[in-house]
């Protein structure tokens, strides 16, 4: 046998010896390979039910991912992870409505991470109208199903008054109707100090969330309003100013700057300040 042919035969035998056996799982469909191209190319690194290491978002190849997972769903329609992975691929490809259909199908079969993706969709209004209640429900379901990564996301769309130093933050979160006349911004120096510091600190992180006219009004109230030099030197103003800084940092760390929750909160804050701005 020529040397080249002998080497080729030896390589083939070696490759056959080293190649892993294909493992098949029994389902209600035909036999399903334990590891499909859809798994290899699209499984999520944080999916507790994945069967491959997972692919970060930045490494997804959307067109290829959609193609292989469409094939997987067509061939093995009862394998829930393929529906989720197709939904993920479709989102990466910008096909949001189709993605939501696949994710909803997986969520109905209690696939935990599908609920997390649906929570994100409702939180940020991806392919549907933003809905904080729906976002909370899906994050909670993901958490109840054992997906611990849903915990900070659930916290991001849930206001916890105990996390803040001053109850005023809860009043802003709950809306203008919760801000009674006892919280008249233009007559209470400590409240002015708090809201001014909160608004400036939050706006420095979430640029543009507090309207310029409202920032100007707060600036006027803080330095030309009822705050006297004696109050400045007494310590209470500094305490409330520091509390405003702290609560703003807490808000941004918990809730971020984007999505339905911060949008609603900052809209309430803008309306509250504008109410006092227009009354002057």
Identify the residue with better confidence: 11 or 98.
98
pLDDT digits (tens, 9 = 90+) for 122-163: 999 999 999 999 999 999 999 998 888 899 999 999 999 999
Note the pLDDT of residue 171: 84
Exposure of 232 in the CB half-sphere (CA atoms within 13 A): 8
Contact between 37 and 61 under an 8 Å Cβ cutoff? The reply is no
User: Residue ranges per domain, the chain?
Assistant: 24-156, 161-278
Please report, rounded to a whole number, the percentage of residues in the chain having pLDDT higher than 90. Answer: 67
Task: Judge: domain 24-156, CATH 1.25.40.10.
Answer: yes
Q: What is the pLDDT of residue 4?
A: 35
Give the pLDDT of residue 225. 82
Burial class for 47, CB neighbours closer than 10 Å (0-12, 13-18, 19+): buried
* Sequence-distant contacts of 90-99: CB under 8 A, at least 24 apart: 90/66, 91/117, 91/126, 92/57, 92/60, 92/62, 92/65, 93/62, 93/63, 93/65, 93/66, 94/62, 95/66, 96/121, 96/126, 96/127, 97/127, 99/127
pLDDT for position 173: 87
Cβ–Cβ < 8 Å for 38, 79: no
Each residue's pLDDT tens digit, 162-177? 999 998 888 888 876 6
The whole-number average pLDDT for the span 197-225 is: 93
pLDDT surpasses 70 at 275: yes
Over residues 9-28, mean pLDDT: 34
pLDDT band with cut points at 50, 70 and 90 for residue 91: very high
pLDDT number for residue 7: 28
Does the pLDDT at position 192 exceed 50? yes
pLDDT of residue 176: 62
Rounded mean pLDDT of 248-266?
A: 95
pLDDT tens string 36-88: 999 999 999 999 999 999 999 999 999 999 999 999 999 999 999 999 999 99
This prediction has a pTM of 0.77
Q: Is the pLDDT of residue 2 over 50?
A: no
């Amino acid at each position: 046998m020529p040397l080249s042919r002998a080497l080729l035969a030896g390589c083939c035998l070696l490759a056959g010896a080293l190649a892993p056996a294909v493992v098949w799982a029994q389902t209600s469909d035909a036999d399903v390979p334990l590891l499909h191209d859809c798994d290899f190319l699209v499984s999520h690194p944080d999916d507790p039910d994945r069967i491959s290491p997972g692919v970060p978002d930045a490494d997804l190849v959307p067109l290829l991912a959609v193609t292989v997972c469409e094939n997987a769903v067509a061939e093995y329609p009862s394998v829930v992870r393929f529906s989720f992975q197709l939904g993920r691929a479709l989102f990466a490809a910008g096909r949001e409505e189709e993605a939501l259909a696949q994710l909803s199908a997986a969520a109905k079969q209690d696939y935990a991470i599908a609920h997390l993706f649906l929570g994100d969709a409702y939180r940020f209004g991806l392919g549907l109208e933003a809905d904080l209640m729906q976002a909370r429900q899906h994050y909670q379901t993901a958490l109840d199903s054992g997906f611990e990564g849903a915990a900070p996301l659930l916290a991001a769309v849930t206001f916890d008054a105990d996390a803040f130093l001053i109850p005023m933050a809860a009043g802003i979160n709950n809306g203008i109707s919760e801000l009674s006349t006892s919280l008249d911004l233009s007559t209470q120096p400590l409240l002015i100090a708090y809201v001014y510091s909160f608004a400036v600190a939050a706006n420095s992180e979430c640029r543009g969330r507090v309207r310029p006219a409202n920032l100007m009004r707060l600036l006027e109230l803080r330095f030309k309003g009822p705050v006297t030099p004696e109050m400045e030197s007494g310590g209470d103003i500094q305490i409330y100013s520091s509390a405003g800084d702290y609560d703003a940092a807490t808000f941004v760390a918990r809730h971020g700057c984007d999505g339905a929750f911060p949008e609603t909160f900052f809209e309430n804050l803008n309306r509250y300040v504008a109410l006092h701005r227009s009354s002057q």
